[in-house]
Amino acid sequence: MRWLPEVPPDRTRPVTEKRLHSEAETVAFAEEFAHTLKPGDVVAMHGDLGAGKSVFCRAVMRALGVKDEAMPSPTFAIIQEYEGKDCRVAHMDWYRLTGGDELDAIGVRDYMQPPWICLIEWPGRAPELLDASTRHVKLACVDDDLEVRRVEVLTTWPKQA
Ligand SMILES: Nc1ncnc2c1ncn2[C@@H]1O[C@H](COP(=O)(O)OP(=O)(O)OP(=O)(O)O)[C@@H](O)[C@H]1O
Ligand SMILES: [Mg+2]
């Protein structure tokens, strides 16, 4: 048999790429994604204002067993903590930050270890805090359709995040 050189996988290509036609489809996709998560995982949520990052995160948290009726946006608190079934969940929004120092000071790295699963909106504010094991999810509006989103799941920082 001829020896074939092994081609390294292209880690910049999305693992999954899909069109979501409604909020319900985003929720269903997020629930499926949640089942791939384990304590210690960090998920960076990319996308513009209103792309659906919080909708996605809330669906992930419900699928992880979070029972809280209210899941307020962490835009002002920066971190919201929840109890899941077999994990704790930290939902973060770094939108208002200008760098990682502030996050370091509030001990953000503790949430990137078991028993936590850490979901981060606006991760681009402090990319230096994220390592290569981070899972990346990118949501984007499609054309001018109010209901349709494109989702990509990646193992590296998305282009034009
Ligand atoms: N297919 C869809 N998936 C997700 N959200 C959708 C979809 N279609 C419409 N929406 C609406 O888009 C909005 C998404 O808001 P959301 O707060 O999740 O955005 P966000 O990305 O978290 O924004 P921000 O950066 O301001 O935190 C919601 O009002 C939701 O009802
Ligand atoms: Mg949000």
For the chain, give the percent of residues with pLDDT over 70.
Answer: 95
Q: What is the 3-state secondary structure (H, E, C) of 100-156?
A: HHHHHHCCHHHHHCCCEEEEEECHHHCHHHCCCCCEEEEEEEECCEEEEEEEEEECC
How far does the centroid of ligand 2 lie from the alpha carbon of residue 37, in Å? 20
Residue 4: phi and psi, rounded to 5, are: -110, 130
Q: Which fold is adopted by the domain 17-154?
A: Rossmann fold (3.40.50)
Contact 74, 121 (CB under 8 A): yes
Is 45 in a helix, a strand, or coil? strand
Q: Shortest CA distance to 120 belongs to which of 101, 142, 97?
A: 97
List, in sequence order, every residue forming a beta bridge with 43; answer none if it has no partner.
119, 135
pLDDT at 2 over 70: no
Per-chain residues with Cβ under 5 A from ion ligand 2: 53-54, 121
> What is the rounded average pLDDT for all residues in the chain?
92
What angle in degrees, to the nearest 10, is found between the helix axes of 23-34 and 53-63? Answer: 50
Domain residue ranges of the chain, discontinuous segments joined by + = 17-154
How far does the centroid of ligand 1 lie from the alpha carbon of residue 26, in Å? 10
Task: Tell me, yes or no, if the pTM score tops 0.85.
Answer: yes
Cα gap 157→46, rounded to integer Å:
9
Ligand approaching nearest to the C-alpha of 140: 1
Residue 63: phi and psi, rounded to 5, are: -65, -25
- What pLDDT sits at residue 131? 94
Q: What is the pLDDT of residues 82-134, one digit of tens each?
A: 999 999 999 999 999 888 888 888 899 999 999 999 999 999 999 999 999 99
